[in-house]
Amino acid sequence: MSTHEPAVRDVPATVRKTATTLADGRELIYFDDSEPYLSGGDTRELTDTRGLPPASSDAQMRFDVLTGEWVVIAAERMDRTFLPPPDSSPLAPSRPGRPTEIPAGDYDVVVFENRFPSLSRLAAGQTLPPGVDGEPLWPLAPGTGRCEVVCFTSDPDASFAGLSQRRVRTVIEAWADRTAELSAIPGVEQVFCFENRGREIGVTLTHPHGQIYAYPFLPPRTQALVRQAREHRERTGRNLLSDVLAAERRSGRRIVIETEHWVGYVPAAARWPLEVHLAPRRDAPDLAALTGAERADLAAPYLDLLGRVDKFFEGVDKTPYIAAWHQAPVGVDRPLGRLHLQLFSLMRSPGRMKFLAGSESAMGAWVNDTTPERIADRLREVAP
């Protein structure tokens, strides 16, 4: 069986990084790949002229003793910006008389601390009792960590799938940079880069962007993966995710795309009506650990898969999706993890979404409405 291999061109890795501070104290970082900014012939606007009060956060975490999971309580997010008109987007470049989150009048890629974070370094300043209502059964802790926004382009009408390979390489460099920086923050246990696309997913800002969460705990999915990976290593001495990739390649039935450094496949136990994973051939813990060759080789298959996702459903121009980069934990469980992308959609047919009803939401028992093999067949069918 042959699989489509996208053309891989030499995508320059040169990126200029410039950090500044917004009016309320939050950090903003420009990642430039275009001239005159790349060579230093000019600089982006660094001054935020808005009269914002100092950033703060009352985020907290409450421990659910019934599941062994932390629940983040971020009440400040209730009033966050919701689907503003295009000319009022806080992610657009600033204009005279209309300052936004980004002071520059144009930009390539920008990363900044979320104004409405689920987790924040500023939450550490809270004085909290050890338990909710003084009960030791319900541990309570500040919602420390970090939430960042990644703007992929200054064009509000663009999409990630429409970016050039050069720009995707810049985004990859930004992800890798932030993964390394956030992983070094004391108390952070995992860094998660992701993109939500589509109002059906719950997107509140249509400008093409993603987010990065630096968690002070291991999220439930990672906890489950670490548990399974530990049992697998104790039994076999090998890495579970490496063995999964090897098994998918031996089968070949659900392989969708292969390049020199990356393999895309539909997992044998896919949960979603549309789901595909993309993993490096080499064992790499996270985006920061990728070699220059692996980063250069990633842009083409990533864009290829996003293009196929958009063509998966007939009559749907832009398929809503979640692109989730699973990275190895920062701490002692790091050897058990392995970098991989989980790209999936909640759409099960044109205009119809898979709602997480009784079995999935209440019991966590998943039911897929199709087979992984059919998903793989369709993704191969719509290859460019």
Please determine whether the domains at 16-217 and 221-381 fall in the same fold group of CATH: yes
**Domain map (residue ranges) of the chain:** 16-217, 221-381
**Quick one: CATH architecture of 16-217?**
2-Layer Sandwich (3.30)
What's the token pair of residue 236? 């076999």
Average pLDDT over residues 341-370: 93
Q: What is the pLDDT of residues 1-54, one digit of tens each?
A: 345 554 444 445 689 999 999 999 999 999 999 998 888 877 778 899 999 999
Q: Is there a cis peptide before residue 372, judged by omega within 30 degrees of 0?
A: no
Strand 60-64 with 69-73, pairing: antiparallel
Please say whether the beta carbons of 289 and 339 come within 8 A: yes
Average pLDDT over residues 235-256: 98
C-beta contacts of 289-294 below 8 A and 24+ residues apart: 289/339, 290/172, 290/176, 290/339, 292/13, 293/260, 293/261, 294/261, 294/262
| 212-228 exposure pattern, b = at least 16 Cβ within 10 A, e = fewer | bbbbbbbbeebbebbee
Q: What is the pLDDT of residues 61-77, one digit of tens each?
A: 999 999 999 999 998 77
| 37-69 exposure pattern, b = at least 16 Cβ within 10 A, e = fewer | bbeeeeebbeebeeeeeebebbbbbbbeeeeee
Q: Which residues are catalytic?
A: 209
pLDDT at residue 88 in the model: 82
DSSP letter for each residue of 194-251: EEEESGGGT-S--SSEEEEEEESS--HHHHHHHHHHHHHHHHHSS-HHHHHHHHHHHH
Report domain 221-381's class: alpha beta
Distance (Å, whole) CA 274 – CA 284: 25
Query: Does 353 score more than 50 pLDDT?
Result: yes
Q: What is the pLDDT of residues 71-95, one digit of tens each?
A: 999 987 767 776 777 678 999 999 9
Q: What is the pLDDT of residues 267-311, one digit of tens each?
A: 999 999 999 999 999 999 999 999 999 999 999 999 999 999 999
Please say whether the beta carbons of 147 and 213 come within 8 A: yes
Closest of 28, 344, 61 to residue 189, by C-alpha: 61
Mean pLDDT of the chain, nearest integer: 93
Query: Does 315 score more than 70 pLDDT?
Result: yes
pLDDT at residue 1 in the model: 37
Percent of the residues in the chain that have a pLDDT greater than 70, as a whole number? 95
